[in-house]
Amino acid sequence: MEKTLVLIKPDGVARGLCGEIISRFERRGLRILALKMMTLSREQAYNHYAEHQGKPFFDGLIDFITSGPLVAMVVGGENAIKVVRTMMGPTDPAGAAPGTIRGDFALSVDNNVIHGSDSASSAMREIDLFFAAHEIMK
């Protein structure tokens, strides 16, 4: 079963969107294999977003992702990485279609509610950053 890391970012948690978002994945037939709420340290945030270090939006992104509790999940299923990315919609919600999570709940690239791994290698790396192997259901 393919696995991907999903984060409901601090804006999504603060706005009470966790149930709605988790429900969409469950209704689609994906499985929640691990789930926790946590506030990221700056070090955890740097590691998660290492590929964006040096970009103009990096400092703001770190401030935002550490600003409050987020929900981290491992989501599994056939083609889970691609299915989750399609359900999320594109990074900039301005171009996200209605029916996608960002298209229904977000307006700005800085506050775009959700993260999903973008490839098999990032999924493996990101799942390892957030969960120990024993925390992930089979």
User: Which residue ranges make up the annotated binding site for ATP?
Assistant: 9, 57, 85, 91, 102, 112
**CB-based contact 91:109 (threshold 8 Å):** yes
91 binds ligand UDP (CB under 6 A): yes
Rounded-to-integer distance, Cα 114 and Cα 13, Å: 10
Q: How many CB atoms lie within 10 A of CB 16?
A: 8
> Which SS3 state, helix, strand or coil, does residue 93 take?
helix
User: Which residue ranges make up the annotated binding site?
Assistant: 9, 57, 85, 91, 102, 112
125 binds ligand UDP (CB under 6 A): no
Q: At residue 53, what are phi and psi to the nearest 5 degrees?
A: -55, 135
82 binds ligand UDP (CB under 6 A): no
Residue given tokens 């946590």 in the structure block: 38
Comparing CB distances to ligand UDP, the nearer of 20 and 110 is 110
Interaction pattern, residues 16-45, with ligand UDP; x per rule: CB under 6 A: ------------------------------
Query: Which residues carry out catalysis?
Result: 115
